[in-house]
Amino acid sequence: MSERPPHTTTDAGSPVGSDEYSLTVGAGGPVLLQDTYLIEKLAHFVRERVPDRVYHVKGGGAFGYFEVTADVTEWTKAAFLNEVGKRTPVLLRFSSVAGEEGYPDSDRDVRGWAMRFYTEQGNYDLVGNNTPVFFVRDPMKFPDFIHSQERMPATGLRSNNMQWDFWTLSPESAHQVTVLMSDRGTPRTWRHMNGYSSDTYMWENAAGKKFWVKYHFKTEQGIENFTDAEAKAMRAEDLDCHRRDLWDAIAREEYPSWRLEMQIMPYEEAADYRFNPFDITKVWPHADYPPMTVGRLVLDRNPENFFAQIVQAGFDVANFVPGIGPSPDRMVMARMFAYGDSSRYRTGPNYAQLPVNQPLSGVHNYNKDGPMRYHHSGNQPVYAPNSYGGPKADPQRFRDPSWFTEAAEIMRAAYEAHPEDDDFVQPGMLYRQVMTQTDRDHLVGNIVAHLSQGVERSMQERAVGDYWTRVDSDLGARIARSLGLKP
Ligand code: NDP
């Protein structure tokens, strides 16, 4: 480098004399309080962290673009999707769920898929996983579920026993646990896995017609997983294998890509569909709602700064754009509160003003002040209604996405049942009809290995008798035999 580097300054910009020596009274004397550069440096250092996400802590991500490849205006009026060939900048953050920062990337876990489209009508955030289903269908159980995957209160250790206790007492988890225990629970890289909205959302077209939708991002690199043994070996080789792989691939200009396939259900079909279509523990079978290719996602730019652009990225399930909205999926509704709230906790009420969180379109509203307020609107009126030219909402053009509900008593209850709702049917189909013999053998081996690490005998019995045997009797029998239990 021929250019001289800039001289060091304090945070206030004034030049400093040394990054090597503190200010002392003589070479052997005490350090002085008036060394404000040292004090600033230490004080800043101990404040370097923001609180971790409470889960999905360990992750990595990159920027890129989404390109529309098929006309979807029949189903949505979303401006960023309104033209074939249209490109929208995106940010995608991948993550593990349960482990802390520093945890091995290769460990068995679900992988998060948090995506932001920087559209001309504001940020659209789509936050899903690498699996099409989830462990629980009611947000009331969500914190308990996460607690069961974390650490024991006294020992501070992870506990397979605690995980199986929660899962076997929550039969709705069977579908997701089947996927998690298959080799899809140990993806080889983030590039070699799919991403799913998992949740159901609503699309609305320009004429006001509504549809229920699920998003499937299919990897164009092909699905590749570690076996259980390979994943465990990778722990010793590279804790950050997924973060490193993504960075290196993009640095090599081998840009990973995914095909967006949509499942689209006409609004009226939800009520009588054979499964509850809003139950996130179920998929919509492809034969019922064939996935349609509508776009392509490409990641082609690494972050310039991991902390500023990946750690501080605050995705919010409530960030919709006109033409896209929530569905009666209870998990969506709870997540619409919790994600924004997590960012407000981690980085403050003005987290959306951080560069990575700023929409490309403008922000105009009456929120004001608060810690770290960076953008402001000068002397704009601070209340609505006002007579002095402040922003005006337009209820005719921008109505909240809506659906009809019947007047009903307010209660705490399960979803209304649909004829074929059952927690074990779909994981059973996955085991019997979709998995190859090798997939099934690995599934059995992975479950047995997991159940053999610190899981009480009574818990193993429950896992076999009340859980896996109900997914499939052959599966239950194979696990029982391997664990030395009576089938
Ligand atoms: P299909 O035969 O049409 O689809 C099965 C799908 O399963 C495949 O398209 C693939 O989805 C996925 N798959 C393939 N191998 C595996 C594996 N080893 N582990 C996990 N998933 C795999 O059948 P249906 O749509 O009727 O679904 C049957 C079962 O397949 C479901 O009960 C569910 O467990 C599973 N499945 C269904 C999905 C859906 O949205 N319908 C999505 C994923 C799984 P992909 O291309 O997305 O990888």
Q: Compute how many other C-beta atoms are within 10 angstroms of the C-beta atom of residue 434.
A: 9
Q: Compute how many other C-beta atoms are within 10 angstroms of the C-beta atom of residue 344.
A: 16
Query: In this structure, what token pair is assigned to residue 349?
Result: 């009420």
Residue 433 pLDDT class (50, 70, 90 cuts):
very high
Active-site residue flag, 123: no
Q: Compute how many other C-beta atoms are within 10 angstroms of the C-beta atom of residue 26.
A: 6
Q: What gap in Å lies between CA 424 and CA 351, rounded to an integer?
A: 41
Query: In this structure, what token pair is assigned to residue 156?
Result: 């501070």
Q: Does pTM surpass 0.90?
A: yes
- Among the listed residues 7, 44, 56, 82, the single catalytic one is 56
Q: Is 339 annotated as a binding residue?
A: yes
Active-site residue flag, 129: yes
To test the pocket of ligand 1, the residue of 182, 283, 284, 440 to mutate (highest count of ligand atoms within 8 Å of its CB) is 283
Residue 77 pLDDT class (50, 70, 90 cuts):
very high
Residue pointed to by tokens 């995705």: 315
- pLDDT for res 74: 98
With CA atoms as reference, report the closest residue to 204 among 214, 212, 193, 215.
212
- Among the listed residues 123, 129, 225, 319, the single catalytic one is 129
SS3 320: coil
Contact 59, 127 (CB under 8 A): no
Q: Compute how many other C-beta atoms are within 10 angstroms of the C-beta atom of residue 364.
A: 11
- pLDDT for res 241: 98
| Closest residue CA from atom 48 of ligand 1 | 194
Atom of ligand 1 nearest to the CA of 426: 32
How many angstroms does the Cα of residue 430 sit away from the middle of ligand 1? Answer: 7
Residue 2 pLDDT class (50, 70, 90 cuts):
low
Rg of the chain (C-alpha set): 25
